[in-house]
Amino acid sequence: MIEIIRGAIQPSSGARLLDVGCGRGRLLDTLRREMPGLRLIGLERDLGRATDAHLLTQAPIILGDGQLLPFRPATFDLVVLGYALHHMSPSVRKGVLVESRKVLRPDGRLLVIEKASPRSPWGRLRLLMQVVSGLENRQVYSLFGQGLVTQLEAAGLEIMTDQRAGEKKSRRVVVARLTTEPGKP
């Protein structure tokens, strides 16, 4: 994962990274240790998680909603959405993606980490059981395959890389940038 992030931003010291929906700060903490030159900021809507994230990382954590990011346009080199989009309804997700795009610098990158669609019948059944039992949000399905790509493109982003990662290839990592084609948002 860290390698993918390194590749996405070719880290220059002082690059600014925003983790939207940072939860308890696990990813931010890994980044703090592995890529010490980055300037990390988290945003989380849940007070308890935001507090935990700050205690863990010592990074500034903003308590807020990803649909309204309190930053000037073109502030960040990298915006990360790690397992956050499937916790959002389609309309919230749309708002979060548009805001994330807005705060990206012109040469910035958006990194999305989500569950990849299960490849085996057993994997699909296990996911279905998790959704039915409430352990997993059913929105996860709308991010499989072209679903996520379409939503990123609708927000004015274009896909640079889209790959499976992790030991079991169960994670999907998409790197996107601002759309450069004329006529696109």
Ligand X SMILES: C[S@@+](CC[C@H](N)C(=O)[O-])C[C@H]1O[C@@H](n2cnc3c(N)ncnc32)[C@H](O)[C@@H]1O
Interface residue list for ligand X (CB under 6 A): 19, 21-23, 26-27, 43-46, 49, 65-67, 82-84, 87-88, 92, 96
Rounded-to-integer distance, Cα 184 and Cα 166, Å: 33
Contact, 174 vs 117, CB < 8 A? no
**Of 111 and 178, CB closest to ligand X:** 111
Q: Which two tokens stand for residue 103?
A: 């705060």
Min CB(161)–ligand X separation in Å: 19
Please say which residue, 164 or 184, places its beta carbon nearer to ligand X: 164
C-beta of 65: minimal distance to ligand X in Å? Answer: 4
CB of 13 to ligand X, least distance (A): 23
Scan for tokens 């590749």, then name that residue: 7
Q: Which is nearer to ligand X, 11 or 66 (CB)?
A: 66
Is-contact 141 132, C-beta < 8 A? Answer: no
- With respect to ligand X, which residue has the nearer C-beta, 84 or 152? 84
**Whose structure tokens read 């080199």?**
77
Rounded least distance, CB 82 to ligand X, Å: 3
Alpha helices in 13-70 (DSSP H): 26-34, 47-57
